[in-house]
Amino acid sequence: MPLPSQVHPDIPTTPNVPLIKPVVALGPTESVIATATPVIPIDPIEQSKRLAAYQAVDHHVKPEHRIIGIGSGSTVPYVVERIVQQGAAVNKGRVFIPTGFQSKQLIVEAGLSLGDVDQYPTIDVTLDGADEVDHALNCVKGGGACHLREKVLAEAAQTFILVADHRKNVEYLGTNFASGVPIEVVPFAYAKVLQNLHHILGSPKATLRMAIKKAGPVVTDNGNFVIDAPFGREHMIDPYVIMAQIKMLTGVVEVGLFCKMAKAAYFGNADGSVTVRWQDGKVEQIAAGQTAAGSN
């Protein structure tokens, strides 16, 4: 899987103005417009993801950090891209722990050293994406069915950092990510867990996640199924409670609610600024000209 810089060329800071060349013709000097090759601009959402990822790496991945967790999702390629930009000398001797196939491929293709949480159960810092983050830094993860491994690396990290675009910055979980809380279950128990969700825990629309371009359900890297369980606002005001209730169901392996875990969340905004929400409730705004990507 290529890094974003291998897919999107850097966007010029000045408009693509046609080059005017004077040419001697029959009579007075005329002007011929030589149009440069057009540059395809990066999508604004992708640019916002890059801004947030660069800022998070610059603030939290320090030279002294040797064991680094790499999460999953659409912002993670930009995290790896920025880490590579720190230079070979800094990355020499570092070990990078992936949460799944995507992050493993990114680490390998970037030429970084691959490790495993079995070898390194204590991680200096883990950076990961999110499907949604509320104002208390609780988040929903598991849209990519990696939330079991993501939570292991989040808990193993001394510092856990979230990176996302502005669409994921919400007051309450379930605002934009409407498919529900991802729940990894062992295949043997999925029907029983669905019944519990429908009739006991208050998610009547909970469904087994089905695969696309494959007959049957989604199967995680761990060989399990995934249930998506939407809950109402009354449950999402304090998602820790419903997380604990789901986790107690026999057959549930892990719940895609990450509560009281992140130190900070970085959101890239469409105007080039970055919003940082901290664990203590502080909110920081980094102007467009001061962001890491904006200064490159």
Q: Hey, which residues are catalytic here?
A: 150
Task: For helices 76-85 and 101-109, give the axis angle rounded to 10 degrees.
Answer: 20
- Going from the C-alpha of 19 to that of each of 16, 33, 35, 37, 40, the distances in angstroms are 9, 6, 6, 11, 18
Q: 104-109: long-range contacts at Cβ-Cβ below 8 A with a sequence spacing of 24 or more?
A: 105/1, 106/1, 106/3, 106/70, 106/76, 106/77, 106/80, 107/70, 107/80, 109/1, 109/2, 109/3
Which residue, among 280, 238, 275, has the nearest Cα to 257 in the 3D structure? 238
Distance CA 240, CA 295 (A): 39
Q: Which helix (H) or strand (E) holds 247?
A: helix 239-247
* DSSP run (H or E) holding 165: strand 157-165
Distance CA 123, CA 68 (A): 6
For CA atoms 118, 113, 77, 264, give the dihedral sign: positive
Q: For 47-69, b where at least 16 C-beta lie within 10 A, e where not — what string?
A: bbbbbbbbbbbbebbeeeeebbb
Under DSSP, the state recorded for 149 is: H
Assigned token pair, 106: 């990114």
With 0-12 CB in 10 A as exposed, 13-18 as middle and 19+ as buried, what is 108?
middle
Q: How far apart are CA 174 and CA 5, in angstroms?
A: 32
